[in-house]
Amino acid sequence: MAMLEFDNVAVYYGKVQALRGISLTVEEGEIVALLGNNGAGKTTTLSTASGLVKSHSGRVSFNGTDITKAMPWNVVGAGLIHVPEGRRIFSTMTVLENLLLGGYLVKDRALVAKRIATVYELLPLLAERSTQQGGTLSGGEQQMLAIGRALIAGPKMLMLDEPSMGLAPLIVARVMQVISEIRDQGTTVLLVEQNARAALKVTDRAYVIDGGTTTIEGRAVDLLGDSRIIDAYLGA
């Protein structure tokens, strides 16, 4: 059974149809990328899974449970965590306060403390900066904080929206490395990226979304050599 499954999901914003039938699956332990151009529907796909956007038709399920109509807090509670585009960290709050938000639904304070310690181990720069305000961090650090915050919620699966956005190539590589470490520690990852080359280096499989539907699906190694992908998303 797939961990996350989209079955022919359609979403409208008013009269505009954003998703025209997305079908995809993510298996436990995988890193799967969603590739595609601006406005293809990648972000809407993630928002539909996390309950921020309601689908018009189709079915979304997570670990066998139907979450098509679930509210965001229930989805978070089920262990599916969405790291939104643009990081969305709280700039006037400290790094630690930002991390604590991740543990908002976790009643057990000792568990939150333990998870913060684990995140500090994975991302020591956050430990170093724990009393600094989020807004004083650099772009790369803010992305790490956004990921760290999501990890405090204890995700079974992490959905990352454009973690490479606005970052220098070396930082992008570092972010991808962290993502692959997170997977190695047992968290499934669904990654939305425009930077197809960087994404395909760490992912197992990928879907291409175009015009609100999934058009191409395949193993990352195959897609890196696929002429359609090379022409459209990787450049010459």
Partner 1 sequence: MSENVDTTLAPRTTRPPASPISRLFESKQLGWIALAIALLIPLLIATPYSLNVMTTAAIFVLLASGLNIVVGYCGLLDLGYIAFMAVGAYTAGIIAKAFDLPLIFTIPAVIIMTVLAGLIIGAPTLRLRSDYLAIVTLGFGEITRITANNLSITGGPSGIFGIPGLLKIGDFDLQEPAVFYYVTVLVVAAFVLAAARLGKSRLGRAWRFVREDEDAAEAMGIHTYKVKLMAYIFGAVWGGFGGILFAAHLSAVSPQSFVFLQSALVLMAVVLGGMGNMRGVVIGALVISLLPELLRDLSTYRYLVFGLLLVVVMVFRPQGFWPARGYEPERMGDVSDRRLAKGTVR
Q: What are the Cα distances from residue 235, in Å, to 72, 92, 228?
A: 37, 40, 10
Angle at 162 between CA 16 and CA 211, to 5 degrees: 30
- Output the smallest distance, CB 205 to partner 1, in A: 25
* Complete DSSP assignment for 115-176: HHHHHHHH-HHHHHTTTSBGGGS-HHHHHHHHHHHHHHT--SEEEEE-TTTT--HHHHHHHH
Single out the residue of 39, 65, 105, 184 in contact with partner 1 (rule: CB under 8 A).
Answer: 105
Report 83-102 residues binding partner 1 (CB under 8 A). 83-84, 88-93, 97, 100-102
Spatial separation of the C-alpha atoms in residues 98 and 191, rounded to whole Å:
22
Q: Is 124 in the site for partner 1 (CB under 8 A)?
A: yes
Does residue 131 belong to the site contacting partner 1 (CB under 8 A)?
yes
Q: Which is nearer to partner 1, 125 or 232 (CB)?
A: 125
- Rule CB under 8 A: is residue 168 a binding residue for partner 1? yes
Q: Pick the piece of the chain touching partner 1 (CB under 8 A) from 5-13, 20-28, 136-144, 209-217.
A: 136-144
CB atoms under 10 Å from CB of 120, counted, come to 18
Give the three-state DSSP class for 200: helix
Using CB under 8 A as the binding rule, whether residue 170 contacts partner 1 is answered as yes
136 binds partner 1 (CB under 8 A): yes
* Alpha-carbon span 147 to 132, nearest angstrom: 17
Q: How far is the CB of 223 from partner 1 (least distance, A)?
A: 26
Applying CB under 8 A, the residues found at the interface with partner 1 are: 50, 52, 71-73, 75-77, 81-84, 88-93, 97, 100-102, 104-105, 122-125, 128, 131-141, 144, 149-150, 153, 167-168, 170-171, 173-174, 178
